[in-house]
């Protein structure tokens, strides 16, 4: 068994680099509270309209009364519903999304609001929108021939009543 | 007289690669012809999606094309090329024929017939579900059955590689298996582990569901099983490229391999770490806890280590050759390398593309940063750079090196080959760098048009234009490749032996753990159960709701 001295040094350098990278990423995720969607929450996608939470009348943004909010949405070919939602800036928001049909992906460029929307499971993400403005909610997972046309509007507005 | 001719013939065929020549050629040509078809589809796709040519626009055609392009590049080009490479490298390095040749050919035909069966629904728009097979979008059953036949066909190759290693070790007790075959066998074993995921999805979910035997499909389970395959498949593709860099490139450029043992360690690490880390493809999925995603991120960074080791060994091997050829100074040896050799040019360009692609890969692999790029065009740009660039450019190098040796002729034109490789490199950069940029500018992946009412769309145009130029350059390059290899079949005869690089420190014997996979298979099994056991079991321990069937 022969490992060259220079190569041994390189092995230590690569291990050190890897540890540093994983450390920085971990610190960043924990420090800025950026976590991917989590949790195992089955739901019957064919009966969303009968569920309390994802029934049509209950979709949209709700103020929780404690400075945080909840946004409930449904993805279905070809749109995200409600098709226009208004949310306050600088407010921690719990977002819950379900699919009524096939696989979708929800993506709002220049924000951390991204999740896959998988039939049979509720997707939950937590984020805070930091800049006001009009954003486009785009489907980023192929969901059929009309995939390109699946988008809706997200308006991040100034906080009211504070 | 007759016997002399016969024995001469035998010597010739033994020098050229025993009984692997025909099966090697068949696999190479199937791979490269299908690849060119896929390149043509790729050019159509970049043009269609740009929106510059209204007459071309059709989501029906576009998604049929994307599905076919993905299957041909990801499954067909790779599987056949890897099989051809493995057979030829095995017979020439172990200096023994393929045992049970009919068995090997059966695998080839099974894979080819499977490909043709899957091609029918793909080309007629009845399998526009993309190569990642997104249920509950349902394709025609022939698509799933054909694709499964292709995978099962590749298992015959895996068994052949393992069989040959065992046979060789029996005949050479205590000796180190040649590095090239050690690598191919590592890949074969890894591929068997890898395909358990997609194989289970196909056999227990997709096929019975598409035939109507099952009414619904659990998409969470299907995606978890697919993720099992989705990362390691990339290393299945990459292995022949690394093997060429370790064992063929140093020989061609007149140098030596820097370290045989480090090659073995890298191959074993790739084998062990590739499969149990697939959750970085599920970072943004619900139905798996963030904790599991974090554990898989750690493994994903571990698998960067063998690539970093490889980079060192390969560049050190290049430096040795450069200095032996009279190169002086800190960087002088680079200019002294034989860049007119296709294998040398390909190796240099491949390492450069790997550096770019590896950087992007770190971002995709990170648990937090991935949020910004998930399912944007950044991801598509990334895997085209790593697969279409780093990996495929080494497939070209291997084909330029092996095919003339298989048939005992001179390569039609080495200079055309080098031009082709450079064109491929440039085309790949022109295609993929804007592709990354457009992803950072928010464009989602897999769209056939951009009908969004958003000022961002304006910013995408310049990148779309660049991608068309890249696509056309790649098309020209792939035509040059096919033409050069086709003309080689009628080029002037020249017998060149297929030789592999010697390490600086010959390693006739290596520690048992670097010469056998038995122990490592146990490690993989334990690692897989730890990382995938509960995430799969949860679908059976809890009540879930399957999705109904949807057309595209």
* Model confidence pLDDT, tens digit, residues B55-103: 999 999 999 999 999 999 999 999 999 999 999 999 999 999 999 999 9
C-beta separation of B168 from B181 below 8 A: yes
Chain A positions touching B441 (Cβ under 8 A) are 109
Q: Per the CB < 8 Å rule, is B137 touching A144?
A: yes
Side-chain half-sphere CA neighbours of B377 within 13 A: 24
- Calculate how close chain B gets to A93, using CA atoms only, in Å: 17
Which two tokens mark B470?
């890249």
B442 → chain A, closest CA residue: A109
Q: How confident is the model at residue B11 (pLDDT cuts 50, 70, 90)?
A: low
* Model confidence pLDDT, tens digit, residues B394-403: 999 999 999 9
Which two tokens mark B364?
């995709």
User: Is residue B4 predicted with pLDDT exceeding 80?
Assistant: no
Q: How confident is the model at residue A54 (pLDDT cuts 50, 70, 90)?
A: very high
Chain B positions touching A6 (Cβ under 8 A) are 316
Catalytic choice (B382, B409, B412, B436): B382
User: Is residue B531 predicted with pLDDT exceeding 90?
Assistant: yes
| pLDDT value, residue B524 | 96
B281 is catalytic: no
Q: Per the CB < 8 Å rule, is A105 touching B374?
A: yes
Closest CA to A121 of A38, A44, A49: A44
Q: How confident is the model at residue B231 (pLDDT cuts 50, 70, 90)?
A: very high
Put simply, whether B137 touches A (Cβ < 8 Å) is yes
Closest CA to B274 of B378, B357, B197: B197
User: Is residue A4 predicted with pLDDT exceeding 90?
Assistant: no
Across B36-50, average pLDDT: 96
Which residue in the block uniquely carries the two structure tokens 């860099």? B245
Put simply, whether A78 touches B (Cβ < 8 Å) is no
B2: part of which helix (H) or strand (E)?
A: helix B2-16
Closest CA to B12 of B497, B520, B527: B497
B362 → chain A, closest CA residue: A21
**Which candidate from B283, B510, B546 shows the least CB-CB separation from A120?**
B546
**Which candidate from A22, A110, A114 shows the least CB-CB separation from B374?**
A114
Q: How confident is the model at residue B506 (pLDDT cuts 50, 70, 90)?
A: confident
User: Is residue B301 predicted with pLDDT exceeding 80?
Assistant: yes
Across B240-268, average pLDDT: 96
Of A18-32, B78-92, B371-385, B509-523, the range with the lowest mean pLDDT is A18-32
| pLDDT value, residue B15 | 59
Across B170-183, average pLDDT: 96
Which two tokens mark B49?
């999606």
Domains of chain B: 18-541 (1.20.210.10)
Q: Degrees (nearest 5) of the Cα angle B27, B74, B307?
A: 95
**Which candidate from A42, A45, A148 shows the least CB-CB separation from B450?**
A148
Chain B positions touching A145 (Cβ under 8 A) are 59-60, 63, 128, 552
Window 347-366 of B: residues touching A by CB (8 A cutoff) are: 362, 366
User: Is residue B349 predicted with pLDDT exceeding 80?
Assistant: yes
| pLDDT value, residue A29 | 87
Give dist(CA A121, CA B221) in Å, integer. Answer: 11
ipTM, two decimals, is 0.94
3 state SS of B437: helix
Which residues, other chains included, contact B78 with Cβ-Cβ below 8 Å and sequence gap of 6+? B31, B236, B237
User: Cβ of B5: how many Cβ atoms within 10 Å?
Assistant: 9
B367 is catalytic: no
Across B522-528, average pLDDT: 96
**Which candidate from B219, B262, B548 shows the least CB-CB separation from A3?**
B262
Q: Per the CB < 8 Å rule, is B545 touching A7?
A: no
Closest CA to B179 of B253, B266, B99, B255: B266
Q: Is B44 exposed, middle or buried (0-12, 13-18, 19+ CB in 10 A)?
A: middle
Across B408-418, average pLDDT: 96
Chain A positions touching B456 (Cβ under 8 A) are 109, 136
B537: part of which helix (H) or strand (E)?
A: helix B518-541
Q: How far is CA B11 from the centre of its chain?
A: 33
C-beta separation of B257 from B317 below 8 A: yes
| pLDDT value, residue B5 | 55
Chain B positions touching A7 (Cβ under 8 A) are 258-259, 262, 309, 312-313, 316
Q: How confident is the model at residue B142 (pLDDT cuts 50, 70, 90)?
A: very high
Which residue in the block uniquely carries the two structure tokens 């990801």? B74
B231 is catalytic: yes
| pLDDT value, residue A1 | 75
Would you say the C-alpha torsion B334, B401, B384, A35 has a positive or negative sign?
negative
Q: How far is CA B178 from the centre of its chain?
A: 22
Which two tokens mark B275?
């499969």
C-beta separation of B87 from B98 below 8 A: yes
Q: Is B362 exposed, middle or buried (0-12, 13-18, 19+ CB in 10 A)?
A: middle
Window 516-545 of B: residues touching A by CB (8 A cutoff) are: 538, 542-545
Which residues, other chains included, contact B285 with Cβ-Cβ below 8 Å and sequence gap of 6+? A37, A115, A116, A118, A123, B220, B223
Chain B positions touching A23 (Cβ under 8 A) are none
User: Cβ of B86: how many Cβ atoms within 10 Å?
Assistant: 30
* Model confidence pLDDT, tens digit, residues A101-128: 999 999 999 999 999 999 999 999 999 9
Average pLDDT, chain A: 93
DSSP B281: G
Of A27-36, A37-46, B268-277, B354-363, the range with the lowest mean pLDDT is A27-36
The sheet carrying A133-139 orders its strands as: A84-88, A151-157, A133-139, A104-107, A114-117
Put simply, whether A2 touches B (Cβ < 8 Å) is yes
Give dist(CA A154, CA B454) in Å, integer. Answer: 12
Give dist(CA B312, CA B316) in Å, integer. Answer: 6
Put simply, whether A38 touches B (Cβ < 8 Å) is yes
Q: How far apart are the first and last CA of chain A?
A: 70
Catalytic choice (B16, B49, B181, B231): B231
Beta bridge partners of A155: A86, A134
C-beta separation of B317 from B250 below 8 A: yes
**Which candidate from A7, A41, A109 shows the least CB-CB separation from B456?**
A109
Interface test with A, best of B126, B283, B444 (most A CBs within 10 A): B444
Q: How confident is the model at residue B1 (pLDDT cuts 50, 70, 90)?
A: very low
| pLDDT value, residue B369 | 87
Distances (CA, A) of A83 to A38, A76, A126, A146, B269: 25, 11, 20, 16, 48
Catalytic choice (B44, B309, B445, B539): B445
Across B242-255, average pLDDT: 96
Catalytic choice (B384, B401, B436, B463): B384
Average pLDDT, chain B: 94
Q: Per the CB < 8 Å rule, is B446 touching A7?
A: no
Give dist(CA B139, CA B202) in Å, integer. Answer: 12
C-beta separation of B50 from B464 below 8 A: yes
Give dist(CA A113, CA A129) in Å, integer. Answer: 8
The 3-class SS string of chain A reads: CCCCHHHHHHHHHHHHHHHHHHHHHHHHHHHCCCCCCCCCCECCHHHHHHCCCCCHHHCEEEECCCCCEEEEEEEECCEEECCEEEEECCCEEEEEEEECCCCEEEECCCCCCEEEECCCECEEEEEECCCCEEEEEEECCCCCCCHHHCEEEEEEECCCCC
Chain B positions touching A35 (Cβ under 8 A) are 290, 367-368
* Model confidence pLDDT, tens digit, residues A64-108: 999 999 999 999 999 999 999 999 999 999 999 999 999 999 999
With a pLDDT cut of 90, the percent of chain A lying above it is 81
User: Is residue B161 predicted with pLDDT exceeding 70?
Assistant: yes
Task: Tally A–B CB contacts below 8 A.
Answer: 210
Q: Per the CB < 8 Å rule, is A40 touching B511?
A: no
Put simply, whether B309 touches A (Cβ < 8 Å) is yes
User: Is residue B487 predicted with pLDDT exceeding 90?
Assistant: yes
Q: How confident is the model at residue B13 (pLDDT cuts 50, 70, 90)?
A: low
To 10 degrees, what angle do helices B232-247 and B304-324 make?
Answer: 20
User: Cβ of A67: how many Cβ atoms within 10 Å?
Assistant: 12
Would you say the C-alpha torsion A17, A18, A20, A21 has a positive or negative sign?
positive
Put simply, whether A24 touches B (Cβ < 8 Å) is no
B280 is catalytic: no
């Amino acid at each position: 068994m022969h490992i060259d001295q220079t190569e041994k040094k390189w092995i230590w350098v690569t291990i050190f680099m890897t540890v540093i990278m994983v450390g920085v990423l971990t610190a960043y995720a924990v420090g800025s509270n950026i976590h991917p969607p989590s949790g195992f929450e089955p739901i019957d996608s064919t009966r969303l309209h009968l569920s309390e939470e994802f029934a049509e009348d209950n979709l949209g943004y709700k103020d929780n009364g404690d400075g945080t909010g909840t946004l409930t949405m449904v993805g279905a070919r070809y749109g995200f519903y409600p098709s226009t939602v208004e949310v306050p800036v600088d407010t921690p928001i719990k977002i819950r999304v379900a699919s009524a049909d096939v696989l979708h992906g929800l993506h709002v460029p220049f924000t951390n609001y991204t999740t896959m929307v998988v039939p049979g499971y509720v997707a939950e993400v937590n984020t805070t929108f930091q800049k006001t403005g009009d954003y486009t909610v785009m489907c980023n997972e192929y969901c059929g021939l009309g995939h390109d046309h699946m988008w809706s509007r997200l308006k991040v507005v100034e906080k009211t009543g504070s | 007289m007759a016997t002399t001719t016969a024995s001469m013939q035998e010597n010739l065929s033994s020098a050229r690669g025993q009984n692997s020549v025909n099966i090697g050629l068949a696999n190479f040509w199937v791979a490269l012809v299908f690849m060119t078809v896929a390149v043509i589809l790729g050019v159509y796709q970049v043009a269609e999606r740009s929106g510059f040519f209204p007459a071309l626009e059709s989501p029906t055609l576009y998604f049929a094309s994307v599905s076919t392009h993905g299957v041909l590049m990801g499954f067909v080009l790779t599987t056949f090329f890897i099989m051809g490479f493995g057979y030829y490298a095995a017979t020439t390095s172990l200096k023994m024929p393929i045992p049970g040749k009919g068995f090997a050919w059966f695998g080839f035909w099974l894979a080819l017939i499977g490909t043709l069966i899957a091609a029918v629904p793909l080309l007629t728009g009845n399998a526009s579900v993309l190569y990642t097979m997104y249920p509950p979008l349902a394709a025609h059953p022939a698509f799933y059955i054909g694709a499964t036949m292709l995978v099962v066909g590749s298992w015959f190759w895996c068994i052949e590689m393992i069989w040959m290693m065992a046979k060789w070790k029996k005949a050479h007790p205590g000796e180190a298996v040649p590095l090239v075959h050690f690598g191919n066998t590592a890949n074969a074993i890894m591929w068997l582990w890898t395909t358990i995921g997609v194989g289970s999805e196909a056999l227990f979910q997709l096929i019975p569901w598409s035939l109507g035997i099952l009414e619904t499909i659990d998409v969470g389970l299907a995606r978890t099983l697919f993720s099992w395959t989705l990362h390691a498949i990339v290393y299945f593709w990459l292995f022949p490229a690394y093997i060429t860099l370790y064992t063929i490139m140093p020989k061609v450029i007149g140098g030596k391999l820097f370290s045989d043992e480090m090659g073995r360690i890298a191959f074993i690490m790739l084998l062990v770490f590739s499969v149990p880390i697939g959750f970085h493809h599920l970072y943004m999925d619900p139905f798996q806890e963030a904790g599991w995603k974090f554990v898989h991120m750690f493994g994903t960074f571990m698998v960067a280590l063998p690539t970093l080791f490889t980079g060192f060994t390969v560049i050190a091997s290049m430096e040795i050759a450069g200095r032996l050829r009279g190169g002086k100074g800190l960087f002088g040896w680079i200019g002294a390398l034989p860049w007119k050799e296709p294998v040398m040019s390909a190796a240099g360009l491949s390492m450069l593309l790997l550096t770019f692609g590896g950087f992007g890969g770190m971002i995709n692999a990170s648990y937090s940063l991935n949020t910004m790029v998930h399912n944007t065009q950044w991801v598509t740009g990334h895997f085209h750079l790593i697969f279409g660039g780093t990996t495929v450019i080494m497939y070209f190098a291997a084909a330029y090196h092996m095919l003339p040796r298989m048939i005992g002729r001179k390569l039609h034109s080495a200079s055309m080959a080098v031009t082709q490789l450079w064109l491929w490199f440039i085309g790949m950069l022109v295609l993929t760098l804007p592709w990354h940029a457009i992803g950072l500018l928010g464009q989602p992946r897999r769209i056939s048009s951009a009908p969004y009412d958003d000022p961002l769309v304006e910013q995408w145009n310049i990148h779309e234009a660049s991608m068309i130029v890249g696509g056309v350059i790649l098309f020209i390059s792939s035509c040059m490749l096919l033409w050069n290899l086709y003309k080689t079949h009628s080029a002037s005869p020249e017998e060149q032996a297929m030789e592999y690089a010697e390490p600086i420190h010959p390693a006739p014997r290596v520690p048992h753990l670097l010469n056998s996979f038995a122990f490592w298979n146990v490690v993989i099994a334990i690692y897989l159960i730890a990382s995938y056991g509960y995430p799969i079991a949860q679908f059976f321990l809890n009540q879930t709701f399957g999705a109904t069937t949807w057309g595209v």
